[in-house]
Structure 1
Amino acid sequence: MRPRTVVTGLGIVAPTGLGLTDYWAATLAGRGAIDRVTRFDPSPYASRLAGEIRGFDAKEHLPSRLLPQTDRMTRLALVSADWAFADAGVVPSELPDYDVGVITASHSGGFEFGQNELRALWSKGGQYVSAYQSFAWFYAVNSGQISIRGGLRGPSSVVVSDQAGGLDAVAQARRQIRKGTRMVISGAVDASICPWGWVAQLTSGRLATSDDPERAYLPFDGRAAGHVPGEGGALLVLENAEHALERNAPQVYGEIAGHASTVDPRPGSDRAPTLQRAMDLALADADLAPDDIDVVFADAAAVPDLDRAEAEAITKVFGVRSVPVTAPKTMTGRLYSGAAPLDLAAAFLSMRDGVIPPTTGSTLSPDYDIDLVTGAPRPHAVRAALVLARGQGGFNSAMVVRAAHH
């Protein structure tokens, strides 16, 4: 039998709350964090809203020597990793060197750092560009900096598949645990709310242009007109279930039970999109039937065609309105590769507390035959959840998590 992979620690950095407790309290209270961008002046741009993390001062959490060499995304990731290990009751430096790996996802790398150095290059000259630019922008930098900080020399890598990447990274971590690595910290934190990153995101044509934070990001709603970007995400401590038991882990949130990823056919093709196939394969991998799933955390693109495709896929797998569907990311914005790991964290907290967080702001369009949890949280026993993520370019990822066997 293959070893089971369980989650024993959660490190959350979200616009709605820094740390697990604050994030979950805000999520259940339906307190959104979408507002006008403050990290730069958004007035010249078509989209002006974001889910920003406010009140994060890296100096309070990290040694000063790290600050000149890290992008905001990496600072948030380092703190998230610290919190995840603390939650799991692990001091990484006390574990054997090669026992712990780091596998993160990234959507855009350290964009803000790169922008600042490019500005220095253009305005002042090459000698003013930081030597740290050589790696601070890089997709793999969060994995690298976390492994250096913790002395973690197990398998490390980065996965780049846009919003699907967060689940793909966790799936890769599960593979490493099955191969014998005892523990892997995995997930993703993204942050590219800067003019350069903003322009790149606007090219997708999927960003909402509304200036009303309450009505800008409305997945599965007849008024859906794009998404609002956000920053942050979550890192999870994954480990071999026996290892967690041996070391008497303070808690086991649940198990990574199944995963599948697919890629859609190219636009204009007559072949169907493959999200449904990813869901079917993830359920098969978890050895669960659709009836075993208590909630689906939706990708929730808030682009009508994409919402329709997702709603149809969910209905084909589960039947008409037969499973609760939610998208708490309406409170944070889409966090790119950080979004799905945050949904995984929310799924585990739903299991712990017997409640499904709401999709705030949205009113379900009659066009979609899904049971969307809107308004208030819904009390509901959650034993297993399905988390969905889709990235631009046709990436689909589906992950099944379930409560730990007692």
Structure 2
Amino acid sequence: MTATVVTGLGVLSPNGIGTQAFWQATLEARHGFGALSRFEIGRYPVQVAGEIGEFDAAEHLPSRLLPQTDTSTRLALIAAAWALADAAVDPSAMNDYDMGVVTANALGGFDFTHREFRKLWTEGPQAVSVYESFAWFYAVNTGQISIRHGMRGPSSALVAEQAGGLDAIGHARRTIRRGTPLVVSGGVDSAFDPWGWVSQIASGRLSECSDPARAYLPFDADARGFVPGEGGALLVLEDAEAAVQRGAPRIYGEISGYATTFDPAPESGGEPGLRRAIELALSDAGIDSAGIDVVFADAVGVPELDRLEAKALREVFGPFGVPVTAPKAAAGRTYSGGGPLDIVGALLAIRDGVIPPTAGTTSVPDEYELDLVRTAPRTANVTTALVLARGLWGFNSAVVVQEWHAPAAL
């Protein structure tokens, strides 16, 4: 069975617009947090967010698309276009049924819907945009990318809260194995209107700290919740043989393993499913725990959840058994975009031989027994990385990313 490889990256993150800017900020542990600026937030208990600043979608998209799309869809369209350009893919030169789109979305089109509902309440139904019929929907990013680039192959949309982005990548790999040569996949999210903001606060997991530099401290003794961000990443995944045959300019790495599990009901007393997801992903990749060079952790920043993740890592790898990092401490938790951003980080860590640091975190409780990379990047021979994500209500996902070596037959 041929490998599924990554040939293109498209990144929009609070701490960097574009792959190189994101990676440089990540290596420098430079966060993208500040007081949310899109509406008056003085009366809300949470005020710090990761916004994508100084960015105008109108400079990157046809004007006809702007009235049709929510902020998250605009980000998805731009990231997909950047990923295709990075992979040197010209969709018009390919068979339209040989290209699919698999994206994840956790929050839908909050900003668009909030605006249209305001019109409904104040002006009546005749004022509501006809585009509201689909602009709010979780599958709209898949549809809009497919339409814009003429991609008519098997396509899907997944919803698994903050685990969804990894699930999208895993399903894209499955789609390629079933015969589709190329799939654009990943996830983005954005919900920084009042309605979306309150919905995020309702989870009870957001940090109420007003200091951007101390608001999100995963695995820290002072952890107090996470900072929500917007954006994410779209990737071009291809059948390795097809990528080589078309002359892809680069192959960043291989998606070699994937698994997903679901936690038992809280009252059942059962074990959380994260450890099982890790073990299944390693098995799918055909490696054991000793084959992992670094873990890109889910890193919620909520003490009890950090403790559970540390326990799962300790049980699989042993105490201090593998370097662990959480680059999202600088980008924020971008929901369905978080996993794909970490996959980008893992691929670049493999390329550059360096493990990025976890911004902000300084004091890891001894009980966690974690080798957390902090303060500065760590030089390392990285050939294989494990990326983890967990979503509200029990989703767990794991992806194994490896350095790709062309078989002799290619």
TM-score range, shorter chain: over 0.9
For residues 28 and 90 of structure 2, the distance between their equivalents in structure 1, rounded to whole angstroms, comes to 33
For residues 247 and 156 of structure 2, the distance between their equivalents in structure 1, rounded to whole angstroms, comes to 28
Alignment correspondent of 1:256: 255
1:30 corresponds to 2:40: no
- Cα-to-partner distance string for 1:123-147 (whole Å, 9 max, x where unaligned): 1111111000000000000000000
1:3 is displaced (CA, Å) by: 2.0
Unaligned runs of 5+ in 2: none
For residues 190 and 331 of structure 1, the distance between their equivalents in structure 2, rounded to whole angstroms, comes to 16
- Cα-to-partner distance string for 1:209-242 (whole Å, 9 max, x where unaligned): 0000011111111111111100000001000000
Alignment correspondent of 1:355: 354
For 1:59-138, what aligned pairs fall within 5 Å after superposition?
A: 59-138=58-137
Alignment correspondent of 1:400: 400
1:180 is displaced (CA, Å) by: 0.3
Q: Secondary structure at the match of 1:145?
A: helix
Alignment correspondent of 2:150: 151
For residues 30 and 308 of structure 2, the distance between their equivalents in structure 1, rounded to whole angstroms, comes to 28
For 1:400, the aligned partner's letter is V
1:337 is displaced (CA, Å) by: 0.6
Deviates more, 1:120-129 or 1:232-241: 120-129
For 1:205-244, what aligned pairs fall within 5 Å after superposition?
A: 205-244=204-243
Q: Secondary structure at the match of 1:285?
A: helix
For residues 329 and 352 of structure 2, the distance between their equivalents in structure 1, rounded to whole angstroms, comes to 21
Question: TM-score under structure 1 normalisation?
Answer: 0.99
Question: TM-score under structure 2 normalisation?
Answer: 0.98
Q: Secondary structure at the match of 1:153?
A: coil
Alignment correspondent of 1:380: 380
- Cα-to-partner distance string for 1:20-57 (whole Å, 9 max, x where unaligned): 11111111111110111011121111100100000110
For residues 99 and 369 of structure 1, the distance between their equivalents in structure 2, rounded to whole angstroms, comes to 47
For residues 122 and 228 of structure 1, the distance between their equivalents in structure 2, rounded to whole angstroms, comes to 31
For residues 270 and 69 of structure 2, the distance between their equivalents in structure 1, rounded to whole angstroms, comes to 43
Identity %: 59
For residues 89 and 274 of structure 1, the distance between their equivalents in structure 2, rounded to whole angstroms, comes to 39
1:394 is displaced (CA, Å) by: 0.3
Alignment correspondent of 1:4: 3
RMSD value, Cα: 0.7
For residues 41 and 382 of structure 1, the distance between their equivalents in structure 2, rounded to whole angstroms, comes to 44
Q: Secondary structure at the match of 2:266?
A: coil
- Cα-to-partner distance string for 1:328-358 (whole Å, 9 max, x where unaligned): 1011110001000000000000000000111
For 1:82, the aligned partner's letter is A
For residues 92 and 234 of structure 2, the distance between their equivalents in structure 1, rounded to whole angstroms, comes to 18
1:365 is displaced (CA, Å) by: 2.0
- Cα-to-partner distance string for 1:351-392 (whole Å, 9 max, x where unaligned): 000001110101222221110000001111110000000000
- Cα-to-partner distance string for 1:52-101 (whole Å, 9 max, x where unaligned): 00011011100100000000101111000000000001011211110100
For residues 220 and 213 of structure 2, the distance between their equivalents in structure 1, rounded to whole angstroms, comes to 13
Deviates more, 1:229-238 or 1:25-34: 25-34
Deviates more, 1:183-192 or 1:38-47: 38-47
Alignment correspondent of 2:165: 166
For residues 29 and 41 of structure 1, the distance between their equivalents in structure 2, rounded to whole angstroms, comes to 31
For 1:362-373, what aligned pairs fall within 5 Å after superposition?
A: 362-363=361-362, 364-373=364-373
For residues 28 and 202 of structure 2, the distance between their equivalents in structure 1, rounded to whole angstroms, comes to 34
Q: Secondary structure at the match of 1:367?
A: helix
For residues 291 and 34 of structure 1, the distance between their equivalents in structure 2, rounded to whole angstroms, comes to 36
For residues 193 and 332 of structure 1, the distance between their equivalents in structure 2, rounded to whole angstroms, comes to 15
For 2:381, the aligned partner's letter is A
Unaligned runs of 5+ in 1: none
For 1:250, the aligned partner's letter is P
The alignment covers a number of residue pairs equal to: 405
Alignment correspondent of 2:181: 182
